[in-house]
Each structure stands twice: as structure tokens, then as C-alpha cells.
């Protein structure tokens, strides 16, 4: 019998926000797959418990794994599948890498092992899980997506604000691409992963009539909250999420 593939969202940073279903699935799966953007991780690697020290840097760098590990310490005793997911925009190269990742997952599924590919936030929102998930669906493997609390919902809760009310619109925007036109959309704008583009984004927003707040590393030990555009520094970490609202008259 073939194993099952699960894309599991672990939430935005606080282990207490993990769902009961996510906890159950991770405990039940024989293999935990995690993504790595480390340059030296060039191909999928199976890591057994006694080999983890060799890949400690890559494991520490995986925020989703560290969140899950805090909630389920026994995860470190499971077989881990390290999947390369470099932060590049070469679509052809990425396609080949994602195919290789999917092939390695399939090897485990064919052995009857179920695989939980864990991801920060929710697996349906800008998630690396989806690249493998689509390959497996195309080959008719059984796949499931386990939702997690999205980062923008967690950030709004930490700021103690609502995102939208009544007929307001909500727009989720990846800040690593051109967003000048999208910033003029009505309603609330969410800029995800603003870290590298922060100086540019600040410049675009400074002369506009917006209410801007930001959370860096939401739910994590090094979380920081910024209440105005002037409070936000020129550079922040990768996991920085900005909430932009039209200023009240």
C-alpha cells in the first residue's frame, strides 16, 4: 500500500497555534519533509536520527521545523527528508529542482511511508509545499493539505486590529515583486515577506495617506512590532509582514 502525502501548515510562529489535526498528522507520518534554502543542499537528502548533527545548520534554519519540534519534541527521532527549495527566480531551474523533490517523496510513498511536508503558515498561501503537491497530484498519489493559521491573521491579532470589515476588500501581495499599482487597490493590503524590499516599500508609502503597521517574526521569540511607517527601520528580517489600511478621515 502506498503512503499518503500531507502538506501541513504549522502556523506563523507560536507553537500553541498548531492545530490538533496538524499535530496528529505529524505524529502519525513516518517521514517529515522540510524545505531548505541553503545553497549547499543541492539535492533531496534523507536524514536519520544519528545523522542530524551533520545537517544541524539546515535544520536550525528551517523555521517550520523548529516550531513543530517545540510542540512535538519526538519529531527529532523521525526520519527527515530535506528538500532543496532555493530562493531563485529562474523558473526552469526551479522546475527541475521541484521535480527532483517530488521524485524523492514518491520513493518514500512507494515504500508505504506517509510523508508530512511542513510549512510555515498555511500550505495554500505562497507555500513551497504546493510545488511538490501538484507533481504528486499529477501522478495520482493521495495528497492532503492541512491548514495552518496564516501569518497575516496572526499579525493582525498581535497588533490587536481587524483586517477588514463590512464590504472592505483584502489584498495579499508578495512584496518581492513589483507592487506600485497594487498599493492603489481599495481596502486593506497585506505585504508578505517585505524584508529585502523594505526601503523601497517605505519610500512608496511615505507620501501616501495610509495607516501602516508591521510585525517582524510574528509569534517567535524575536518578534518585533512597529506601529507607524516612521517606526519601521530600513532593514528587517525575511519574515516581516506589513498591514496597510486607508487612513481614516
User: Residue 216 contacts by C-beta under 8 Å, 6 or more apart in sequence?
Assistant: 222, 223, 224, 225, 226, 236, 237, 239, 240, 241
If you classify domain 5-146 with CATH, what class do you get? alpha beta
Q: Please state the φ and ψ torsions of residue 57, each to the nearest 5 degrees.
A: -60, -45
Q: pLDDT for 49-85, tens place per residue? A: 888 888 998 999 999 999 999 999 999 999 999 999 9
pLDDT above 80 (res 176): no
pLDDT at residue number 235: 86
Global confidence as pTM? 0.94
CATH number of 151-246: 3.30.950.10
Cell of 38: 541553503
pLDDT at residue number 150: 96
pLDDT above 80 (res 29): yes
Q: pLDDT for 98-141, tens place per residue? A: 999 999 999 999 999 999 999 999 999 999 999 999 999 999 99
Mean pLDDT of 141-168: 97
Long-range contacts, stretch 127-130, CB < 8 angstroms, 24+ apart:
127/7, 127/9, 128/35, 128/83, 128/85, 129/7, 129/8, 130/7
Quickly state the pLDDT bin for 173 (edges 50, 70, 90).
Answer: very high
Domain layout of the chain by residue ranges: 5-146, 151-246
Amino acid at each position: 500500500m502506498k503512503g499518503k502525502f500531507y502538506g501541513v501548515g504549522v502556523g506563523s510562529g507560536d507553537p500553541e497555534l498548531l492545530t490538533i489535526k496538524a499535530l496528529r498528522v505529524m505524529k502519525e507520518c513516518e517521514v517529515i519533509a522540510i524545505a531548505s534554502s541553503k545553497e549547499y543542499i543541492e539535492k533531496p537528502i534523507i536524514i536519520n536520527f544519528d545523522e542530524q548533527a551533520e545537517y544541524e545548520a539546515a535544520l536550525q534554519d528551517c523555521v517550520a521545523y523548529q516550531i513543530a519540534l517545540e510542540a512535538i519534541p519526538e519529531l527529532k527521532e523521525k526520519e527527515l527528508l530535506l528538500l532543496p527549495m532555493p530562493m531563485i527566480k529562474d523558473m526552469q531551474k526551479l522546475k527541475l529542482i521541484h521535480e527532483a523533490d517530488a521524485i524523492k517523496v514518491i520513493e518514500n510513498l512507494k515504500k508505504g511511508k506517509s510523508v508530512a511536508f511542513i510549512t510555515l503558515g498555511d500550505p495554500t498561501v505562497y507555500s513551497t509545499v504546493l510545488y511538490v503537491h501538484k507533481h504528486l497530484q499529477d501522478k495520482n498519489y493521495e495528497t492532503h493539505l492541512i491548514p495552518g493559521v496564516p501569518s497575516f491573521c496572526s499579525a493582525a491579532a498581535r497588533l490587536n486590529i481587524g483586517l477588514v470589515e463590512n464590504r472592505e476588500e483584502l489584498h495579499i501581495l508578495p512584496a518581492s515583486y513589483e507592487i506600485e499599482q497594487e498599493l492603489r487597490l481599495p481596502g486593506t493590503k497585506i505585504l508578505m515577506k517585505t524584508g529585502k524590499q523594505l526601503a523601497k516599500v517605505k519610500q512608496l508609502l511615505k507620501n501616501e495617506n495610509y495607516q501602516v503597521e508591521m510585525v517582524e517574526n510574528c509569534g517567535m521569540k524575536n518578534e518585533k512590532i512597529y506601529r507607524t511607517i516612521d517606526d519601521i527601520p530600513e532593514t528587517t528580517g525575511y519574515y516581516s509582514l506589513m498591514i496597510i489600511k486607508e487612513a481614516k478621515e
